[in-house]
Amino acid sequence: MRHFVNLTTLLFCGTACAQFASGDFSGIPVMCQNGKEPTLSCSEPIQETCGCVCRDGATFNQTRPGSLVDVTLPPVSQQLPGKPCMAEVFVPWKDIDLPHTKDSYEPSNMYDEMVHVPEDSVFVVADSLGRCQHFEVFVDGEKVGVTNGDGPLDNWPCGDPETCIEKNGGSHGYFTLQKGSHAIGLRWIGITDACKHISTGRGSYQIYKKC
């Protein structure tokens, strides 16, 4: 008889824990036969099964349930569709050089740098001096977007970064950047006939706090 009771408890707890693991309570608290909710214990690193325990000591394994909490982390960086409101500047405009094989349509060498931002920020990349550059933009080794602009890539002198963006259709892009230290990377792509003779491309970037 004792064996039969234990088996009944085990089977009931098995059903209860399976429901507990899946989060399917159907609006009614699920209990073990002895009146206590089952507990589910999963070890890290993640295992395929977890231990399910009732108060009377009945234990067995259950398939690890899906997480009931969204633990998806936001991307380190993503391209924004337009210019966000600008507040405090963390990194003022900085000019960068991108070595390029003269008379070639091949992309330039990659420009790499570590930056530190004290708060979630906006990372701005822009063409400057001569209107020639579209840039592939990388953050922590991941490509996050490509700059663009209304003006042609014709090597026309478009001025400093802000003038090039605002008045002369220079290629540019806005990207989110999370608080912390990040490796940024820029590469000149889309070389045109008017610009392929240039051995060193020129661009600029700035980092500022959103309003």
Which structural domain range is residue 30 located in?
Answer: 2-63
Of 145, 122, 205, 134, the residue nearest 169 (C-alpha): 134
Of 100, 144, 106, 140, the residue nearest 125 (C-alpha): 144
Is there a single domain that holds both residue 116 and residue 180? yes
Residue 188, both tokens? 């000149």
Higher per-residue pLDDT: 168 or 28 = 168
Q: What is the 3-state secondary structure (H, E, C) of 103-126?
A: CCCCCCCCEEEEEEECCCEEEEEE
User: For position 160, what pLDDT does the model report?
Assistant: 95
Computed on alpha carbons and rounded to an integer, the radius of gyration of the chain in Å comes to 29
H/E element holding 187? strand 180-189
Is there a single domain that holds both residue 96 and residue 136? yes
Is there a single domain that holds both residue 170 and residue 201? yes
**Confidence band, pLDDT 50/70/90 cuts, at residue 27:** very low
CA dist., res. 154 & res. 152, Å (int): 5
Is there a single domain that holds both residue 139 and residue 203? yes
Show which of 37, 63, 89 is a domain's final residue: 63
Q: Is residue 105 part of a domain?
A: yes
Q: Is residue 68 part of a domain?
A: no
Is there a single domain that holds both residue 57 and residue 92? no
Q: Is residue 194 part of a domain?
A: yes
Q: What angle do CA 72, 43, 17 make, to 5 degrees?
A: 90
Q: Is residue 73 part of a domain?
A: no
Higher per-residue pLDDT: 69 or 141 = 141
Burial of 109 (0-12, 13-18, 19+ CB in 10 A): middle
Show which of 34, 63, 92 is a domain's final residue: 63
CA dist., res. 129 & res. 135, Å (int): 15
CATH number for position 92 = 2.60.120
Q: Is residue 71 part of a domain?
A: no
Residue 145, both tokens? 């977007």
Q: How many domains does the chain have?
A: 2
Q: Is residue 70 part of a domain?
A: no
Is there a single domain that holds both residue 83 and residue 183? yes
pTM score above 0.75: no
H/E element holding 13? helix 2-22
Q: Is residue 69 part of a domain?
A: no
CA dist., res. 111 & res. 137, Å (int): 10
Is there a single domain that holds both residue 131 and residue 163? yes
Q: What angle do CA 64, 69, 74 make, to 5 degrees?
A: 120
Is there a single domain that holds both residue 126 and residue 39? no
Is there a single domain that holds both residue 89 and residue 151? yes
pLDDT tens digits along 68-127: 555 566 677 999 999 999 889 999 999 999 999 999 999 999 999 999 999 999 999 999
CA dist., res. 122 & res. 175, Å (int): 6
Q: Which residues contact 145 (CB under 8 A, 6 or more apart)?
A: 78, 79, 136, 137, 173, 175
Higher per-residue pLDDT: 115 or 14 = 115
